[in-house]
């Protein structure tokens, strides 16, 4: 992926990975960021977390998120006028005048690996290679057996609009609990993972094969499984928060042998209602009995020929009705296809970019604040962590691509939807929810728990949609107990969480 001239200092970055190392590339991100920021006199970190009502209510001007658009006319830059780049334009407090390559925004502990042309931003905490503090050394010395018994690495999947930042407070404690590596990564459209826009165009040697959409669920699942390989592990504990829970469950269905356990935090998975199978079975048995009685009567009735004729006529009518239904379904599919094409075109239009910027400016930080039970825990540090990706090139277009993939992508896989397959999950499952979750209510988590056989449900009191951020110690303790029970750890032994 080419760097912009505005961030040309990053061209010297060389990212070399060993597939089975699980470590970060060796470059000084802080030094690169500092050198770049010094060359940009407009940059002011304090401005990145402040905004005013007057700024938000000024007339909206859309600026280009990237210096070039995908071939074929999508997101054409022709509509971008120089007048749209007004000085001081901000989205959720983030200056939009000069967006940067994601790697320039990376932290000192940030890592990047390439998967199917996408540079995935991730962070890794390795408990085995970092026994630095005395508390960690004490935990590792006292509890070697538990670490061996758990031993699986952990993959963390963030929710919609979040990034690896949302896991920053629990990565280290979870690493101490598992005694292994914990990896959190940004899915495309979020965080600091690259945002490609040329995937709509097939290569010459794959004319009949649709390219894999990096913003699709299929890509997120394959990336999750790839990162398990990246950690040189056969299995991993997969943790998903909110919409990330759906990625976690789909990853299990794609390769159940690779998932040691599932931990679903405030899961945004619509739980199915209980089906009254007994009623359906009784109705079926009653129908069979009626059919048998009717057959016995027909054999004795002199008008049996007439009855048989009526049956044949009934079957013919059913066949005609079935044909009509098939035709109607075909028309519905055609209309649905046209609707999806129109919606997809709209989501990739300049107007949609304007809308998504307006929504993020007006409601972005408010949504994160509302996710907390205690709004006082929503600090400037958290605001900066959630809004930092808005400084990355193409964030607005990528968010629309993600939305388009979620709403319009058709899956050729004949498998039934996730909600109808939950009963097939056989690995250990923990579901954690807050009792005052305003985004995904706790009753949905309770229904989800009933739909997954043997799953464990934990409801945190006085907690919202972010248990892993708002109730760190309780969350880690719950995960620790779950893993002890799931993998046969001795009772009475626990790793002291490092918060």
CB neighbours of residue 10 within 10 Å: 21
- pLDDT for res 32: 35
In total, the chain counts a number of residues equal to 499
The residue written with tokens 């490092």 in the block is 498
Query: Which range, 336-345, 359-368, 469-478, 486-495, has the best average confidence (pLDDT)?
Result: 469-478
- Give the pLDDT mean for 334-355: 74
* Interatomic CA distance for residues 59 and 45, integer angstroms: 25
312 pLDDT band (50/70/90 cuts)? low
The residue written with tokens 């802080």 in the block is 30
Q: What distances in angstroms separate CA 110 from CA 16, 339, 391, one per listed residue?
A: 14, 41, 16
Predicted confidence (pLDDT) per residue in 215-267, tens digit:
999 999 999 999 999 999 999 999 999 999 999 999 999 999 999 999 999 99
Q: Is 345 a residue whose pLDDT tops 70?
A: yes
CA angle 240, 180, 24 (to 5 degrees): 85
Q: Average the pLDDT over each of 244-253, 340-349, 398-407, 464-473 and give the range with the smallest value.
A: 340-349
Q: Is 50 a residue whose pLDDT tops 50?
A: no
Query: 280: which residues sit within 8 A by CB, 6+ positions away?
Result: none
- pLDDT for res 113: 96
Predicted confidence (pLDDT) per residue in 425-462, tens digit:
999 999 999 999 999 999 999 999 999 999 999 999 99
Q: Is 302 a residue whose pLDDT tops 50?
A: yes
Helix pair angle (350-371, 304-347), 10° resolution: 100
- Give the pLDDT mean for 132-157: 58
Query: 471: which residues sit within 8 A by CB, 6+ positions away?
Result: 434, 460, 463
Residue 410, CB half-sphere, CA atoms under 13 Å: how many?
11
Q: How confident is the prediction for the chain on average, in pLDDT? A: 73
- pLDDT for res 330: 58
359 within 8 A of 396, measured Cβ to Cβ? no
Among 498, 497, 493, 495, CA closest to 139: 495
User: Token digits for 491?
Assistant: 């009772």
Q: Is 140 a residue whose pLDDT tops 60?
A: no
239 vs 132, residue with greater confidence:
239
- pLDDT for res 419: 86
Measured in Å, how far apart are the chain's first and last C-alpha atoms? 37
136 within 8 A of 429, measured Cβ to Cβ? no
User: Token digits for 272?
Assistant: 């199915």
Sign of CA dihedral 30, 36, 39, 45: negative
Query: 346: which residues sit within 8 A by CB, 6+ positions away?
Result: 352
Residue 286, CB half-sphere, CA atoms under 13 Å: how many?
6
- pLDDT for res 391: 94
pTM to 2 decimal places: 0.68
82 vs 321, residue with greater confidence:
321
80 within 8 A of 64, measured Cβ to Cβ? yes
- Give the pLDDT mean for 98-118: 94
- pLDDT for res 417: 84
Q: Is 392 a residue whose pLDDT tops 70?
A: yes
How much of the chain, in percent, has pLDDT values that exceed 90?
Answer: 46
HEC letters along the chain: CCCCHHHHHHHHCCCCCCCCCCCCCCCCHHHHHHHHHHCCCCCCHHHHHCCCHHHHCCCCCCCCCCCCCCCCCCCCHHHCCHHHCCCCCEECCEECCCCECHHHHCCCCCEEEEECCEEEEEEEEECCCCCCCHHHHHHHHHCHHHHHHHCCCEEEECCCCCCHHHHCCCHHHHHHHHCCEEEEECCCCCCCCCCCCCCCCCCHHHCCCCCCCCCCHHHHHHHHHHHHHHCCCCCEEEEEECHHHHHHHHHHHHCHHHEEEEEEECCCCCCCCCCCHHHHHHHHHHHHHHHHHHHHHHHHCCCHHHHHHHHHHHHHHHHHHHHHHHHHHHHHHHHHHHHHHHHHHHHCCHHHHHHHHHHHHHHHHHHHHHHCCCHHHCCHHHHHHHHHHHHECCHHHHHHHHHHHHHHCCCCCCCCCHHHCHHHCCCCEEEEEECCCCCCCHHHHHHHHHHCCCCEEEEECCCCCCHHHHCHHHHHHHHHHHHHHHCCCCCCCCCCCCC
- pLDDT for res 341: 72
The residue written with tokens 């009626």 in the block is 290
- pLDDT for res 390: 94
Among 7, 474, 67, 479, CA closest to 237: 479
In this structure, the strands spanning 94-95 and 90-91 are antiparallel
Q: Average the pLDDT over each of 274-283, 326-335, 425-434, 485-494 and give the range with the smallest value.
A: 274-283
């Amino acid at each position: 992926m080419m760097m912009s001239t505005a961030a040309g200092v990053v061209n010297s970055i060389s990212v070399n990975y060993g597939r089975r190392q699980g470590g970060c590339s060796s470059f000084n991100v802080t030094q690169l960021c500092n050198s770049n920021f010094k060359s940009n006199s407009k940059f002011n970190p304090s401005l990145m977390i402040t905004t005013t009502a007057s700024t938000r209510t000024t007339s909206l001007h859309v600026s280009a998120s990237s210096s070039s658009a995908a071939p074929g006319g999508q997101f054409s830059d022709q509509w971008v006028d120089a007048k749209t780049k007004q000085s001081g334009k901000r989205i959720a407090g983030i200056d939009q005048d000069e967006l940067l390559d994601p790697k320039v925004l990376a932290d000192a502990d940030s890592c990047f690996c390439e998967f199917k042309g996408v540079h995935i931003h991730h962070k890794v905490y390795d408990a085995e290679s970092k026994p630095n503090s005395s508390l960690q050394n004490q935990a590792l010395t006292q509890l070697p057996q538990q670490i061996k018994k758990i031993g699986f690495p952990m993959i963390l999947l963030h929710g919609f609009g979040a990034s690896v930042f949302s896991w920053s407070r629990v990565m280290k404690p979870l690493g101490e609990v598992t005694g292994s590596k914990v990896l959190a990564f940004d899915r495309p459209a979020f965080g600091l993972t690259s945002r490609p826009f040329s995937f709509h165009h097939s290569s010459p040697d794959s004319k009949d094969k649709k390219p894999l959409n990096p913003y699709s669920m299929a890509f997120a699942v394959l990336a999750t499984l790839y990162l398990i390989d990246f950690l040189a592990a056969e299995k991993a504990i997969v943790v998903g928060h909110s919409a990330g829970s759906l990625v976690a469950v789909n990853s299990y269905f794609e390769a159940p042998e690779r998932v040691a356990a599932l931990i679903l935090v405030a899961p945004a998975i619509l739980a199915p209602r209980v089906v009254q199978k007994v009623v359906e079975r009784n109705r079926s048995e009653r129908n069979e009995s009626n059919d048998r009685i009717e057959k016995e009567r027909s054999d004795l009735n002199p008008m049996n020929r007439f009855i048989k004729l009526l049956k044949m006529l009934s079957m013919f009518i059913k066949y005609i009705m079935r044909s009509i239904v098939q035709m109607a379904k075909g028309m519905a599919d055609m209309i649905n296809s046209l609707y999806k094409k129109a919606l997809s075109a709209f989501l990739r239009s300049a107007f949609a970019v304007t809308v998504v910027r307006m929504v993020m400016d007006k409601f972005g930080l408010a949504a994160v604040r509302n996710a907390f039970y205690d709004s006082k825990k929503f600090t400037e540090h958290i605001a900066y962590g959630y809004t930092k990706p808005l400084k990355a090139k193409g964030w607005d277009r990528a968010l629309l691509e993600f939305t388009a993939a979620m709403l319009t992508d058709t899956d050729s896989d004949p498998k039934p939807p996730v909600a109808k397959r939950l009963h097939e999950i056989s690995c250990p499952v923990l579901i954690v929810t807050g009792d005052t979750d305003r985004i995904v209510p706790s009753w949905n988590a309770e229904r989800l728990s009933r739909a997954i056989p043997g799953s464990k449900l934990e409801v945190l009191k006085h907690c919202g949609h972010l248990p892993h951020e708002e109730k760190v110690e309780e969350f880690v303790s719950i995960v620790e107990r779950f893993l002890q029970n799931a993998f046969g750890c001795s009772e009475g032994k626990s790793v002291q969480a490092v918060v």
